Amino acid sequence: MTPLKQKTSQTMKPATAAKKLGIYLAAAPTDFQEGVVSREELNALQAEPPQWLQELRRNGPHPRPVIAAKLGISISGLARGGVTEALTTEQIEAIKAENPLWLQHERANQVDVRKEAARIKAKHEKEAAEKAAKESRDR
């Protein structure tokens, strides 16, 4: 019989944990940036976020995926609009209020992309239904 191996905790780099938490790593506390995060620690941070995490999520600075989501555009759209740095919630709200031409354009692009994705999904669903109906007739 083989001896039972002790279960080790899965760990991740701080950058991975920050991505999963939706925060900008450079704005996190130093001990978070320099350590490793176990799966259990990540789950605890998600379940009961400490004050620093709540503050980062509320006010930023935010990473690009969060900025893009708050503006309703893609990450590529951010780059095309010249936004390459992390932004605070206040800065994001200022961009929304200003509603520059590039943001209007990127939001319109996003609407078109979503429409096309929905059209393709519907097409695939129709094709799958037709295939299933044909297979059931052929039996």
Q: What average pLDDT does the segment 75-94 reach?
A: 92
Phi, psi of 74, rounded to the nearest 5 degrees:
-85, 165
Q: Which residue has the higher pLDDT, 104 or 2?
A: 104
Of the listed ranges 3-12, 49-58, 114-123, the least confidently predicted one is 3-12
Beta-carbon count within 10 A of 103 CB = 19
With bands split at pLDDT 50, 70 and 90, how would you rate the model's confidence at 138?
Answer: confident
Distances (CA, A) of 43 to 1, 38, 54, 66: 34, 9, 15, 20
Helix (H, G, I), strand (E, B) or coil at 83: coil
What does DSSP assign to residue 81? T
With bands split at pLDDT 50, 70 and 90, how would you rate the model's confidence at 100?
Answer: very high
Residue with tokens 């129709």: 126
Is residue 2 predicted with pLDDT exceeding 60?
no
Is residue 61 predicted with pLDDT exceeding 90?
yes
Interatomic CA distance for residues 37 and 71, integer angstroms:
30
Is residue 70 predicted with pLDDT exceeding 80?
yes
Q: Which residue has the higher pLDDT, 95 or 60?
A: 95
User: H/E/C letters for each residue in 21-70?
Assistant: HCCCHHHCCHHHHHCCEEHHHHHHHHHCCCHHHHHHHHHCCECHHHHHHH
The predicted structure's pLDDT at residue 8: 66
pTM of the model: 0.72
